[in-house]
Each structure stands twice: as C-alpha cells, then as structure tokens.
A and B are shown apart, each in its own frame.
Chain A
Amino acid sequence: MTGRRFAAMSRFNIASLALGFAFLYLPIVILVIYSFNASQLVTVWGGWSLRWYTAFFNDEAMLAAAATSLRVAAVSATLAAVLGTLAALALVRGERFKGRTLFSGMLYAPLVMPEVITGLSLLLLFVALGAERGFWTVTIAHTTLTMCFVAVIVQSRLGSIDRSLEEAAMDLGCGPVKAFVAVTLPLIAPAIAAGWMLAFTLSLDDLVIASFTTGPGSATLPIRIYSEVRLGVKPEINAICALIIGAVTLAIVTASLAAKLSSRRGGNAAPM
C-alpha cells in the first residue's frame, strides 16, 4: 500500500523534474540551434551555416565591445576575489568587531538591490568625484557588486573548515598569517576560484550597472547587444549568445572536473 503510494508520488516528482529542466534548457538549446541557421530571416530554417559567426568576427564594434567586457570582467573579478575573501575572513574569524552589523549588511544588500539603484548611485558618486567615466568606473562598479557574491561563497566554505588544523600548524611554530597561508588558503582555494568565476560571469552579463557607469568609447558587450535587441531579433546576436553560452558551459565543465579531481586527491571540493 505505502509502496504504491510512494510510486505514485515519484511519478509526479519525475514529471516535475522533467518539465522543470525542459523549461530551463529548451530556450537555450533553441537559441543555439537557430544561431546556425543559414537564412537571413531568423525564424525560417535555411539549413546549417556558420555565416552569422563570420558576421560577428567581422563586426568591429561588436568585437571591441566584447574585448572591453572581457577586460572589465577579468580585472573586476580579480579585485572582487581578493576583497570578497578578506571580507569573508573578517566575518567568519573576526568574531565581534565594531560595525560588524553594518559590514555584513553592506555585503548582503547588493545581492538583492535592484541594479537601477546601484547603478544610479555609483554614477552620482563618480560624477561628484569628477572621475572620467569609462573602463575604470565600470570595473569599480562591477567589483562592488561581485565581491559580495565572492564573500558569501567563501564565507560558507570558511565556516566549514576545522580550525584545529590551523591551531595544529601554530603549535608546530607557524605564525597566524603563515598558518593561514599554508593551511587554510589551500582549503578555501576552490571556493575562491568558484567566486572568481561567478564574479567574472556576472560582470560579463551585467547591462544595467554598466549602462549607468560607462562612458563614451567603452560600451560593454551587453550594452551593444541590448541596443541591437531593442531593434529586433538578429541572427548575428544569436551567434554571439551561442558563443557566450559555449564559453560558460566549457568553464563550468572544466571547473567541476577540476573540483572532482582535487576531491579525489583527498581535499574536498566546494559545493559550487
């Protein structure tokens, strides 16, 4: 009796999983397939072709935007990885210090803050400081947003690490900083790497904050894509999107393989 009940439940469960994952993945798969469409009309299938990929690689404005985006993403993700890790350390190991509530509030708020507010407020700061808008203002803006994500990821990893390992290192004569670098840092490295990757993709992805904080000459890829998409669907955009999806998938597969490898070697990998 109960066995049949659970079988019925799991049929419902299987259906929700199948439908859920189909919903999550079908639109992306369709987009990628259409990027290989030879036809000028996006929705009429004209056979397989790479013409829209060639079109993208000959579109200098798009390529320049892609280069800007990659540079911004690389610099801001690296800054965010350093600052976010320091923030996580302070939160997990710092116990109580003055302004801790404000500190953690400032780190969690940007995670849910509507981007229009973050973008507008940062722009006003840059205007007040008289900073010329361009590469660095976008990079600083993205660092501010993404270091919070890094802090959350590293924090959860740091919290699960056995402190007695560090204490043992110190009993054996290491100073606290050396114990941290020799023992803890390798343990949280996968989480920092995951944080860096998340920061990189978030930066590559951001339209709203970049629109507020960029200046003439440093339009990022999403800004260019957005202005094209507003005018309608274009096959070339499909190709660009497919390229980004391919790069992201490759990065994730590499990262999870690396995590698996390092966990086989005896360490345990971060969940992300």
Chain B
Amino acid sequence: MSARNIFTRPARLAAIAPYGWMVLFFLVPFGFVLKLSLSQVANAQPPYLPVFDLGAGWQALIAAVSALSLDNFRLLLSDQLYLLAGLRSLTVAATATVLLLLIGYPIAYAMSRLPRHWQPLAMILVIVPFWTSFLIRVYAWINILQHDGLLNQILLTLHIVSEPVVWLSTDTAMYIGMVYSYLPFMILPLYATLSKLDPALLEAAADLGSSPLQSFWRVTLPLSLPGVGAGALLCFIPLVGEFVIPDLLAGSDSLMIGQTLWLEFFTNRDWPVAAATAVMLLAILLLPLVIYDRFQRRQMVRS
C-alpha cells in the first residue's frame, strides 16, 4: 500500500458531510422546482396544489402523474411577456459581457505588463471592490446617476448639457451597473492567462518584423482566448439571471427573466409559474455551458 492510498481513504471520508449537504440543499431542491413547475396554482398555503404525496399510496401516485400538467410552460410560451423577458435577458447579458470584455481586457493586459512586484497589489486592488457589498455598489451608482445627482451636477456646471439628463431607470444606467459589478470577474481570469504568457513569444514576433499591434492580434489575443472564454462565461451566466441591477437601475417597461421570476413569486404569488420560469432560465443557461465545455475540450485536445 503506497503512502498516497493512505491519504485517499480519509479524504474520501471527508467527502461525506459536504456531499450529503450539497445533495440535500442543492440537488434535491431542483427536484422540487421541477415538480412545482408541473403543478397548478391554488389558493392555499403554500399557494399550489401538491402534485403527489408519497404517503397516499400507489393509486394516488398514478392519479397524480396523470394530472401533471404542462400548463405553466404553455403559459410561458404563449404569453409574450415571458418570451420577451427571456430574449431581453440574453441580449442584455451578451451586450454587458461584450462591454466587460472591451473594458476589462486593457486593464488585465496592463496589469500583466506591470513590474512583477506591483502585480499582487494591482490584483488586490481589483478584488477589494468585489468584497464590498453588491447592493452598495449598485446603490453608489444611484447616488451618482439620479436626477440631481453628481453626474448631472458636473455636466450642468461644465455647460455640457443645459438641463438634467435622465440617467436612472434607463438601460445605460443598467449597463453601467453591470459592468461595474462584474468587472473583477472579467479581469481576474483574463489576467491569469495574460500573466502566464511568455514574453519571449512577443520578442520573437517583433524580431520577425511584426508591429506591436500585429503581434498583439496574432500572438497575445489567440493565446489569451481561454481567459476570454472563462471571463465571458463567469459574467454571462449570472448576468442572464440578474435581478438586483435591472430592478434598481433599469426602467420597468421591459423586464429580465430574473425579474419576472421575482415578480411571479413575491407579487403575484404564483409559485408554479415562478418555478416554470426557473426551469426555463436553467434551460437557457445550459446552452452556453455546453458550448464552453466543447471549446475547452478542443483546447485540451490541441495542447
């Protein structure tokens, strides 16, 4: 028996508690969401009809299964509100991700070009805002963007505009909030790949006569693609289901899917439709995950 194996068994025992915890509090709850999404709303507490009760026996189970309904999903697909919310979530998340890439890449790149002993400090400076509350960061922008807020005051004093601009409750405000809140998630994976890049490759490219722009385009950028993928995914997926930022910064005329879920649950108290919305959101999110998985495997095969 090698020394490794002696470690393996206690390590496997260590898995029991977290494994059980995650199965009970992460996996099983999805079953409840799925089950609820197939049941009917009811005027009860909790406000839905039970789909089946294992205590009621086999006969009841069969009756319950035949009563399962796809009504909630039919509603989601027929009512434009939900389709529009799904579509808006995807376009908003995609736009915000592109903005994050455009803003985060130069910062991550510059960080990787800093002298070695400055880099840990720069990394801490990127991480620190991430530790301060998410809600506070969104709230800080409400302070700045509101009607008589700092931004309008500055613009008015500099005579750039003649009357206050409406910033709050617009998509612009929402995108600012998204970029601001998710920037560390984009910068860190980008920085991680860029800082591992061998400078000798760039020197070689320069020696072979390529301009800095060319070597960036043909050497740096392709080699940093794994970081781009990781950063984009890390931002895109939570952004699709984002609730707080659009709720506080965007207007209320068009909703994202996380907002409709919240609305169905807390305002309309229609738990089954909320659950169906959650299932739809999950289905939407599986697609980018599968694409990323493919992408990563291809990278692994190549290297």
Q: Which of B131, B150, B237, B266 contacts A112 (CB 8 A)?
A: B237
Q: Give CA–CA (A2, B203) in the complex, Å.
A: 10
Given contacts A28-B132, A112-B237, contact A94 B139 (CB under 8 A): no
State how many angstroms separate the Cβ of B295 from the closest Cβ of chain A: 16
Given contacts A86-B18, A121-B29, contact A244 B281 (CB under 8 A): no
State how many angstroms separate the Cβ of A233 from the closest Cβ of chain B: 6
A237 touches B11 (CB 8 A): no
Residue B200 lies at the interface, judged by CB distance under 8 Å to chain A: no
Main secondary structure of the interface of A (DSSP, over half): helix
Given contacts A20-B103, A124-B36, contact A241 B10 (CB under 8 A): no
A12 touches B262 (CB 8 A): no
Stretch at the interface among A57-65, A185-193, A204-212: A204-212
State how many angstroms separate the Cβ of B29 from the closest Cβ of chain A: 3
Residue B261 lies at the interface, judged by CB distance under 8 Å to chain A: yes
Residue B217 lies at the interface, judged by CB distance under 8 Å to chain A: no
Q: Give CA–CA (A204, B132) in the complex, Å.
A: 10
User: CB within 8 Å of A: which of B223-247?
Assistant: 233-234, 237-238, 240-244
Q: In the complex, which of the residues A10, A27, A125 has the most CB atoms of chain B within 10 Å of its own CB atom?
A: A27
Residue A55 lies at the interface, judged by CB distance under 8 Å to chain B: no
Q: Give CA–CA (A241, B138) in the complex, Å.
A: 11
Given contacts A106-B26, A241-B133, contact A117 B139 (CB under 8 A): no
State how many angstroms separate the Cβ of B205 from the closest Cβ of chain A: 12
* B residues less than 8 Å from A244 (CB atoms): 132-133, 136
Residue A83 lies at the interface, judged by CB distance under 8 Å to chain B: yes
B128 touches A252 (CB 8 A): yes
Q: Give CA–CA (A99, B12) in the complex, Å.
A: 11
* B residues less than 8 Å from A147 (CB atoms): 18, 21
User: CB within 8 Å of A: which of B124-147?
Assistant: 124-129, 131-137, 139-144, 146
B3 touches A170 (CB 8 A): yes
* Chain A 2-46: CB-based contact to B (< 8 A → 1; otherwise 0): 100110111011101100110111011011001000000111100
* A residues less than 8 Å from B141 (CB atoms): 27
Residue A140 lies at the interface, judged by CB distance under 8 Å to chain B: yes
Query: Interface size of A by Cβ–Cβ distance < 8 Å?
Result: 95
State how many angstroms separate the Cβ of B27 from the closest Cβ of chain A: 6
Count contacts between A and B, CB distance < 8 Å. Answer: 256
Q: Give CA–CA (A94, B262) in the complex, Å.
A: 40
B10 touches A106 (CB 8 A): no
Nearest residue, chain B, Cβ from A14: B110
Q: Give CA–CA (A116, B103) in the complex, Å.
A: 27
Q: In the complex, which of the residues B28, B32, B206 has the most CB atoms of chain A within 10 Å of its own CB atom?
A: B32
Nearest residue, chain A, Cβ from B7: A93
Residue A265 lies at the interface, judged by CB distance under 8 Å to chain B: no
Q: Give CA–CA (A125, B127) in the complex, Å.
A: 34
30 contacts between A and B (CB under 8 A): A16-B106, A25-B129, A27-B137, A27-B143, A31-B136, A34-B143, A90-B18, A94-B8, A99-B19, A107-B18, A110-B26, A118-B26, A120-B261, A120-B278, A121-B29, A124-B36, A141-B25, A144-B22, A163-B7, A167-B3, A177-B10, A180-B10, A201-B133, A204-B133, A226-B135, A226-B244, A229-B142, A230-B248, A252-B124, A271-B123
Nearest 10 pairs of A and B residues by beta carbon: A114-B241, A90-B15, A93-B11, A121-B29, A13-B110, A87-B18, A16-B106, A20-B107, A124-B32, A27-B140
Taking beta carbons and an 8 Å cutoff, which residues of B are in contact with A?
A: 3-4, 6-8, 10-12, 14-15, 17-19, 21-30, 32-33, 36, 46, 103, 106-107, 109-111, 113-114, 120, 122-129, 131-137, 139-144, 146, 148-150, 153, 180, 183, 187, 206, 212, 233-234, 237-238, 240-244, 248, 258, 261-262, 265-266, 271, 274-275, 278, 281-282, 285
Given A21-B125, A117-B33, A177-B10, 10 extra CB contacts under 8 A: A113-B241, A116-B262, A116-B281, A124-B29, A140-B25, A207-B244, A222-B135, A244-B132, A252-B131, A272-B127
Taking beta carbons and an 8 Å cutoff, which residues of A are in contact with B?
A: 2, 5-6, 8-10, 12-14, 16-17, 20-21, 23-25, 27-28, 30-31, 34, 41-44, 82-84, 86-87, 89-90, 92-95, 97, 99, 103, 106-107, 109-110, 112-118, 120-122, 124-125, 127-128, 140-141, 143-144, 147, 151, 163, 166-167, 170, 176-177, 180, 198, 201, 204-205, 207-208, 211-212, 222, 225-226, 229-230, 233, 237-238, 241, 244-245, 248-249, 252, 256, 271-272
